[in-house]
Structure 1
Amino acid sequence: MEIITAIGRGFSPEKAMLLLVGDNILHVMNLQEFVGKSTDQMERIKGRIIGEKGKARTNMENLTNTLISIYGKTVSIIGSPDQLKNTIDAISSLSSGSMHGSVYSKLEAVKRREKLEKLQLWENQDVF
């Protein structure tokens, strides 16, 4: 059922099939929660999330290892539950007016912390 919803929210069928891999889930955010019914504000927020030539969306996808689709009045995200939380926070921050640089810095810090935690797991394991 989520695959059909993902396709309907703007994901390609190939990307929607990633919902079958691992613990990936689909989350749909309604942008009207941030702007109400103002179409001008809606376009502004969508523009902030997409960025110039799609750069902001691509940066967020790369920093969070998620897939993002902006379609109509919604933003849809495919990823694991942990990844979704960071992406939702980033999109909420951008929608509330935060600067792109500060959002990226926060995502980079989270990514660094996760990488360090993985390294700690490897260091703490006995090889033999």
Structure 2
Amino acid sequence: MRHVTIPQDRIGVLIGEGGATMREIESRAEVRLDIDSETGSVRIESVGDPVKGLAGPDVVKAIGRGFAPEAALELVDDDMRMLEILDLDAATRNRNDLRRQKGRLIGENGRTRELMEDLTGADVVIYGSTLGVIGGPEQVDAVRSAAEMILDGAPHGAVYSFLERRHNEMKSEGLEYHEFTPETAPEAGETPE
């Protein structure tokens, strides 16, 4: 049994209309949720497959940190997806600095956050004093590195170039696995040219 505390304003999202989101999480993650709407405390108890149940707390935490329930539920459906939360308070000096850094991470009209998502394939949310990422290990690593560059004061152009480079690297690594079609695959014992 695990406990996760989420912000008051995210409890409604976790429960969903008529309890639909809560039931969906319970069904897909094979857990039971006990939500205290006064404190935001959520008790998560595994009631089925223990491996699926391990994703339950992360799904609840992700929704609490601003992710849409559909994005959070990807943590159950794909065991290569992971949740990482970066604490922006630790990288800022005061409230004004936090506001400025959040603005840099979001970018004008949300462009920077959107590029992080588009070029890595991860889901990125900036909520409160955190930046949340849901994606595969390489995707999460690319977003984390880009966010750290921004927090360290790197120009946005340099961060965009870094993201494009990582995007191309991830794309080419993915192609290596799908390089051969059945027609062009080497026969057993042959070496590819």
Instruction: Please confirm whether the aligned pair reaches a TM-score higher than 0.5, indicating the same fold.
Output: yes
Q: What number of residue pairs does the alignment pair up?
A: 127
Where has structure 1 moved over 4 Å in runs of 4 or more?
none
1:89 to 127, 145, 148: 145
Aligned to 2:103: 47
1:75 to 126, 131, 135: 131
Matches within 5 A, 1:25-64: 25-36=82-93, 38-64=94-120
1:113 to 139, 149, 169: 169
Rounded to whole Å, the distance in 2 between the matches of 1:3 and 1:96 is 30
The residue type equivalent to 1:34 in the other structure is A
Rounded to whole Å, the distance in 1 between the matches of 2:68 and 2:110 is 17
| Consecutive unaligned residues in structure 2, runs of 5 or more | 1-56, 188-193
The residue type equivalent to 1:99 in the other structure is P
* Cα RMSD for the two superposed structures: 1.8
TM-score normalized by structure 1? 0.90
| TM superposition shift of 1:127 | 4.5
State the identity as a percent.
36
Rounded to whole Å, the distance in 1 between the matches of 2:127 and 2:141 is 20
Q: Going by fraction, where is helix more abundant, 1 or 2?
A: 1
| Consecutive unaligned residues in structure 1, runs of 5 or more | none
Distance 1:111 1:35, change over 3 A: same
